[in-house]
Amino acid sequence: MRYFIAINLPENTRKKILEITRDFPEKGIKKIRGPNLHLTLKFLGELDENKVDKIKQVLDKINYNKFDVSLKDFGFFPGDNFVKVVWIGVEKGKEELIELQKQIDLELKNLGFKPETNFEPHLTIARVNFLENKKEFLEKIRELKFEDNFSVSNFDLMQSFLKPEGPVYREILNVGLE
């Protein structure tokens, strides 16, 4: 099974994002389904149960304060010339997300996980295979406005099941913040 560590979004934030992505073209773009919308803190990859148990023990010891996040506006990876991912940026709470991610990296280092380099908090909302009219799509995205705020009081260890209709995520461990 594949695993990752994430901050899952509140339901009202998910609904707002789905309203926006509803108008994305269906052809060539794979929109992230509502239950799968999250802020990734670390991708762990394929793991056996023994390693997962050790990760749970390490994550359960992390002490970090609750904080607020504001999501705002859109961007593309790797860039406008070659669009593979459409994302929403993090404005408020960006430093806290980076610090939380660093703490997770530090704790997982002893289990053989390499630290992230250039971690940039963002929320992936769609993956692009191809665009029939890239210029029109990019203009449409640039015209869209999005802003939402929520409190982060926990993060989760998630398990990913790959299915033909897309991945299905299951929470394995919920780590509360102070």
Catalytic residue among 122, 125, 141, 158: 122
**Catalytic residue list contains 122:** yes
Q: How far apart are CA 31 and CA 33, in angstroms?
A: 6
Element (DSSP H or E) covering residue 83: strand 82-90
Distance CA 26, CA 145 (A): 20
Question: If DSSP codes are grouped into helix, strand and coil, which group holds residue 24?
Answer: coil
The catalytic position among 29, 32, 37, 38 is 38
CA distances 154 to 5, 18, 44, 50, 54, Å, are: 11, 23, 18, 24, 19
How far apart, in whole angstroms, are the C-alpha atoms of residue 76 and residue 135? 13
Neighbouring CB atoms inside 10 A of 152's CB total 21
64 as an active site residue: the answer is no
Interatomic CA distance for residues 146 and 119, integer angstroms: 22
Q: Could you give the residue numbers annotated as active site?
A: 38, 122
